[in-house]
Amino acid sequence: MPIQKYGVFRHLWVVISMLLLLDSSGTCVRCENAATGIEYINFIIIFCDDLGYGDIGVFGHPTILTPNLDHMAAEGQKWTNFYVAASVCTPSRAGLMTGRLPVRSGMANSKRRVLFPDSNGGLPAEEITIAEILKEKNYATACIGKWHLGHLPRYLPTRQGFDYYFGIPYSNDMDRIAGKDSDVFYQPKSDYWNVPILRNEEIVERPADQNTLTRRYTEETIEFIKQHKGGPFFIYLAHNMPHVPLFRSKDFAGKSRRGLYGDVVEEVDWSVGQILQTLRQQGLAENTLVVFTSDNGPWLSHREQGGSAGLLREGKGMTWDGGMREPTIFWWPGTIHPAIITDMGSTLDLLPTFAGICGAPLPDDRPLDGYDLQGVLKEQKKSPRDIMFFYRGTELYAVRKGSFKAHFITEYAYVKDAQKTVHDPPLLYQLEYDPSEKYNVAGQYPDIVAEIQHLAEQHKAAMVMGKDQLDTRIPK
């Protein structure tokens, strides 16, 4: 999708905008950029870690109270069929950041599924991130929170288009220094894990005081908004929570009826409220698009300290919908009108959507897997996304086309002796009728099975995988 060919129109638009600026009364209605006269839109992605489809009020949780997210959904678009690019951290984040399936960048591996502190790899420099796309349009860019796309200096956010970074470069359960018993996880203390907090490229705290993570990430985000309220900005706020070990600040201790997990999610909800309130107070609400979602489904093997995928099947690590469908809200007052969107969307679509909104060119030298969702956001048009590919590592396990999802392979995660099962014919589920993937209807729809099989074969034949980044260790 080369945007370059629209260059003439873009220049024309700049001229029109500048002419309009001459007549301007000086009142900033749509926050025109004083330097260029071009209207701009800020972007904030609020990305949770291991939050399940069913873990917030408006998506059906009975005891986790999320008034801010519920309100955000009531003012914006609640997306009920929104997928992430993979069912575990690293590849999911690589997909979001590049708009490309993580196998393309080498950020998916079937055995070592995410990056670890001993990993020598990361998101390759030649990948183009959302931040790099937006830098072309002079956005101020910040990554706040969990990165997990490479913690060696050459892979840090600051090398991938972000002006600023503050956070833990990988998961908060890595670098464990305490024992292996379950109390380490279920009655956690920050010093059981030796995870660092980086500011830009320097370690500023180790071990991280995890109790204050959500609060500090929120404060960093608010500070960045205030500092850059004049300009276009992009903030990628990737909470470490509610990934185990679960931490929340004192104010949220014992607050939720859902226990520790609920406390943690309710603090994330508080964080969302603080950020939206800041945008309103700064007069930025109408020119900021905020997207709330998570990286993958709930970590079910942690029982009460893992989340809930609601009515969806299974969770984190799996290609069942519970692993990859996330509770998602788009908020952009004045432009997005309240709606429930049942069409498909994906974190893969954020890059082309943001690029489309701000008129940044998309790379035309590589395949992208995302779609521009502007039509849905602005006019509630049908989503351009009609297909979703479900990978486990480098293998294609399932494909959704329209309302039907075919599973060619299924495999349970975090289960001892779980068997990888190949299905021929594939299992077929009508997800709009049967969101819980209970009723295999392959026998009733042989044509649809054949169509999806053909799509899968075409896709696999055309796929060029990137050089693996996950199974390389730092030399000793």
Residue (of 44, 46, 66) closest to 54 by Cα position = 66
* Catalytic residue status for 148: yes
Cβ-based nearer residue to a copy of itself, 31 or 241: 241
Cα–Cα dist 115/175, whole Å: 12
Cβ-based nearer residue to a copy of itself, 195 or 376: 376
Cα–Cα dist 299/114, whole Å: 15
- Say if strands 288-294 and 328-331 run parallel, antiparallel, or are unpaired: antiparallel
- Say if strands 339-346 and 387-392 run parallel, antiparallel, or are unpaired: unpaired
Stretch that binds a copy of itself, among 57-65, 127-135, 142-150, 413-421 (CB under 8 A): 57-65
Cβ-based nearer residue to a copy of itself, 426 or 435: 435
Q: Is 254 in the site for a copy of itself (CB under 8 A)?
A: no
Handedness of CA 85, 89, 90, 96 (dihedral sign): positive
Residue (of 294, 328, 285) closest to 86 by Cα position = 294
| Closest distance of CB 75 from a copy of itself, Å | 12
Among 201, 304, 364, 457, binds a copy of itself (CB under 8 A): 304
Q: Is 253 in the site for a copy of itself (CB under 8 A)?
A: no
CB 360 within 8 A of CB 136: yes
Please, which of residues 388-407 interact with a copy of itself by CB under 8 A?
Answer: 403
| Closest distance of CB 402 from a copy of itself, Å | 10
Among 74, 125, 177, 415, binds a copy of itself (CB under 8 A): 74
Q: Is 340 in the site for a copy of itself (CB under 8 A)?
A: yes
3-state SS class at 77: strand
Q: Is 257 in the site for a copy of itself (CB under 8 A)?
A: yes
Q: Is 181 in the site for a copy of itself (CB under 8 A)?
A: no
Cβ-based nearer residue to a copy of itself, 255 or 366: 255
Report which secondary-structure segment, H or E, holds 450.
helix 446-462
Q: Is 259 in the site for a copy of itself (CB under 8 A)?
A: yes
| Closest distance of CB 244 from a copy of itself, Å | 14
Cα–Cα dist 46/72, whole Å: 12
Q: Is 59 in the site for a copy of itself (CB under 8 A)?
A: yes
Q: Is 310 in the site for a copy of itself (CB under 8 A)?
A: yes
CB 36 within 8 A of CB 21: no
Stretch that binds a copy of itself, among 303-311, 357-365, 384-392, 447-455 (CB under 8 A): 303-311
| Closest distance of CB 258 from a copy of itself, Å | 6
Q: Is 386 in the site for a copy of itself (CB under 8 A)?
A: no
Among 5, 281, 439, 450, binds a copy of itself (CB under 8 A): 439
Q: Is 434 in the site for a copy of itself (CB under 8 A)?
A: yes
Task: Kindly give the interhelix angle for 213-227 and 260-281, rounded to the nearest 10 degrees.
Answer: 10
Backbone φ and ψ for 159, nearest 5 degrees, come out as -100, 0
Q: Is 438 in the site for a copy of itself (CB under 8 A)?
A: yes
Q: Is 301 in the site for a copy of itself (CB under 8 A)?
A: no
Stretch that binds a copy of itself, among 37-45, 306-314, 418-426, 456-464 (CB under 8 A): 306-314
Residue (of 268, 234, 273, 267) closest to 253 by Cα position = 267
Cis omega before residue 363 (within 30°)? no
Give me the catalytic one of 148, 151, 243, 302.
148
To the nearest 5 percent, what fractions of the chain are helix, strand and coil?
35, 20, 45
Which DSSP state fits 263? H
Stretch that binds a copy of itself, among 105-113, 119-127, 390-398, 435-443 (CB under 8 A): 435-443
Q: Is 245 in the site for a copy of itself (CB under 8 A)?
A: no
Quote the longest CA-to-CA distance of the chain.
Answer: 70
Long-range contacts of 2-8 (CB under 8 A, 24+ apart): 2/361, 2/362, 2/364, 3/355, 3/359, 3/360, 3/361, 3/362, 3/364, 4/361, 4/364
Please, which of residues 76-115 interact with a copy of itself by CB under 8 A?
Answer: 80-81
Stretch that binds a copy of itself, among 23-31, 74-82, 359-367, 414-422 (CB under 8 A): 74-82
Q: Is 9 in the site for a copy of itself (CB under 8 A)?
A: no
| Closest distance of CB 266 from a copy of itself, Å | 12
CB 135 within 8 A of CB 104: no
Residue 39, strand partner residues: 32
Among 61, 137, 151, 248, binds a copy of itself (CB under 8 A): 61
**Residues with catalytic roles:** 89, 148
For a copy of itself, the binding residues (CB under 8 A) are 54, 57-63, 65, 74, 80-81, 257-259, 261-262, 303-304, 308-311, 340, 342, 403, 430, 432-436, 438-439
